[in-house]
Structure 1
Amino acid sequence: MLQPIVRMPFFLFFVFSMLAVFSVAQAVTVDCGKNSVSVRWVDVNSQVDPSLLRLGDCPPSQVSVNPQGSEAVFYAEFLTCNIRRLVTTNEIRFETEITSPTLSKSTSFYYPVACVYERKEDWVPPLYGPLLFHTHGQGDLAFGMALMKDDFSDVATTTTFSLGSMIPIAASVAQQNHQPLILLLDECFASTTPELAPDSPVYPLITNKGCLVDSKNANSKFLPRNQLSEIRLSLQAFKFATGEDVYLHCRLVAWEPRDLDSGNKACQYDRTSSRWVLVDDPSQSSLCSCCDTNCQGRKKRGITADSTAVNSVLGPLVII
């Protein structure tokens, strides 16, 4: 087995191993950056179609097949593509795997990938009390998220909710010298842990880049906006982990309001018409047609993900 080649401009410590059920001449190059990872997979005599490979749940960014062999190149920002974050006392670890469809024992493929960074002394877990979570600023943007009273007039005074009742949530982005942006919830999961780990139990609320999947079987819904920089969500209290502490893990994204696409949107399911609807402009609901499959958006030129997205945790709350 060829040893992986690692270039480490920001990388402090790297863990990489391989498990495969067939033996071929393969090489993997991994670049762990400050906020992303690049992986190059090369196989001289492969039994795997490189276009079928996945890094987490993302396909390759580039594929080539020629007489000299096959190649797949992946690029992913951390916490996308099902890249998991695990925080310990001394380190912050991002991990996922390269896999292929399990067609047979001779062609199945599994290759764990992990980037591990030293945890700085002033880094703290994203949890700042039971009522309000306010993320650190990104560039000239400051994101916030809170449990609210029923009328959204103020922050909630309780974190306990009865099963079936509605949980009001508001998220916002304060824009200082930035162009006007619309705030979106890219994904949200409920979990019993303040930090997501590979074995953390999760309940999906928003997935697939802005699809409120919980609206398909419950009364959860987005509420009409008062302003583009705020988004309001009314979640119906769910059975997941009743009686336990529950944390909501959400990814907040600020985006160009006139440039919504299938990867940057707010969609909910209208059970009356049995279709997905774009909350901010129902006439563009075709952007939501991928909510039952796989939504892929495009990157915004000139605006980095660092300056327009953050991950936040709200909780703990208790459902009884």
Structure 2
Amino acid sequence: IMAFCSVCFYINLNLFLFVSLEVSVDCGRSSVSVRWTDSQSLTDPWFLRLGSCLPSSISVRPGGAEAIFYARFDDCSFRRLVTEDEIVFENELSTEPSTKNPSGFFSPIVCVYERPADWRPPMYDPMLFLTNGKGDLVFHMNFMKEDFSGVATSTTFPLGSLISIAAAVEQQAHQPLVLLLEECVASTTPELEQSNKIYPIIANKGCLIESKKSNSRFLPRRNPSEIRMYLQAFKFALGEDVYIHCKLVAWDPKGLDNGRKACHYDKNNGRWELLDNVLESGLCACCDTQCRTRNKRELNRAHPVVLGPLTVTD
């Protein structure tokens, strides 16, 4: 959608007394490259993060250190802001305080584009998404292309491949909310009945249990009202029509707890991690036992959505 960046940034920062840091930003069509340099090597580049992403490359030499990030706007927790005239992507380059740099480091990363006259958010195209609404909230969910650029043209997936799934909520005049998947199960029928054979995918109030035994995972959010995941095609009902039944919840972003969360299992660290803030992953500790909702007023109850049919082939 975007051809040229109307505002790109080159930032010279003189922080922390005599520490000289430079950050340059090159905004592309749908991605950005960020170059960070420290001529005095007083900041450890291994601790740098662009949003939720690690550096793509790092070099350390006697004359200083350099880190480079290459990131798409749908990764690394970029935020998208759309105004009448512009589309803005925002993020932060930062590092936690360390022995080398007790004050840490923070720099805003911003790319600004002219908004095409006919632009509209693809996540909210009513012709593309299965929609379910209640009150002033409208929910969308569908199978997507691998890069989430549009709705999938086929719902037949080879065993072991990654199925892209996206959901969103239109908030209308409501207070800002975060979208969560409370539960998802697979079934061979479009209606769930007690006699149905089911395959659990998300359970225990937002735990992507399928991520513990496969490569399924949540993807970094583009904004709180959307949630995306890769679901690895499973053996359940091979060759048959399969329907995915989910319960969607729009929730207060400041009110996440054991019963309102989005967690997946990180095999590299061997632990459950919270999608929205890895530092608060303690909320996911109950994923292997039983998660309970606190006794508090719910903003919105779970909204059921059914996706399908899809077919997994061997």
Are 1:314 and 2:307 an aligned pair? Answer: yes
- Following superposition of structure 1 onto structure 2, how do residues 1-320 of structure 1 map, counting pairs within 5 Å? 134-301=130-297, 303-305=299-301, 309-320=302-313
Structure 1 letter corresponding to 2:234: F
Deviation at 1:301, TM superposition (A): 2.6
Measured in 2, the distance between the counterparts of 1:136 and 1:312 equals 7
Helix, strand or coil: the match of 1:156? coil
Shift of 1:141: 0.3
Structure 1 residue 299: Cα displacement:
4.8
- 1:136 Cα shift? 2.9
Q: Could you tell me how far 1:273 is from its partner in structure 2? A: 1.6
Q: Secondary structure at the match of 2:259?
A: coil
1:303 CA displacement = 2.6
Letter in 1 for 2:307: L
Identity score, percent:
61
The question of whether the paired residues in 2 share the 8 Å contact of 1:133 and 1:314 is answered with: no
- Offset, 1:271: 1.2
User: Which amino acid in the other structure matches residue 242 of structure 1?
Assistant: L
Contact residue 251 and residue 300 of structure 2 kept, 8 A: no
Q: In 1, are the aligned partners of 2:132 and 2:305 still within 8 Å (CA)?
A: no
Q: CA, structure 1 residues 302+317, in 2 after alignment: closer, same or farther (shift >3 Å)?
A: closer
SS of 1:215 mapped into structure 2? helix
TM-score by length of 2: 0.58
**Alpha-carbon spacing, 1:304–1:277, altered in 2? closer, same or farther (3 Å):** closer
- Encode CA deviations 1:216-237: one digit per residue, 9 max, x unaligned: 0100000010010000010000
C-alpha spacing 1:304/1:316, structure 2 compared with 1 (3 Å): closer
**Structure 1 counterpart of 2:311, one-letter code:** V
Separation in structure 1 between the aligned mates of residue 167 and residue 237 of structure 2, nearest angstrom: 24
Alpha-carbon distance between aligned partners in 1 of 2:182 and 2:143, rounded to the nearest angstrom: 18
C-alpha distance in structure 2 between counterparts of 1:303 and 1:285, whole Å? 23
Letter in 1 for 2:171: Q
Would the aligned equivalents of 1:210 and 1:263 in 2 still touch at CA under 8 Å? yes
Per the TM alignment, residue 304 of structure 1 is displaced from its structure 2 partner at its CA by: 4.6
Consecutive unaligned residues in structure 1, runs of 5 or more:
1-130
CA distance in 2 between counterparts of 1:136 and 1:259 reads 24
Pairs aligned (count): 187
Amino acid at match of 2:264: Q
TM-score of the aligned structures, taking structure 1 as reference length = 0.57
Structure 2 residue matching 1:273: 3-state secondary structure? coil
The 8 Å contact of residues 276 and 288 in structure 1, kept in 2 or not, is answered as: yes
Distance 1:167 1:318 in 2: 11
- How far, CA to CA, are the matches of 1:172 and 1:299 in structure 2? 26
What's the secondary structure of 1:242's corresponding residue? coil
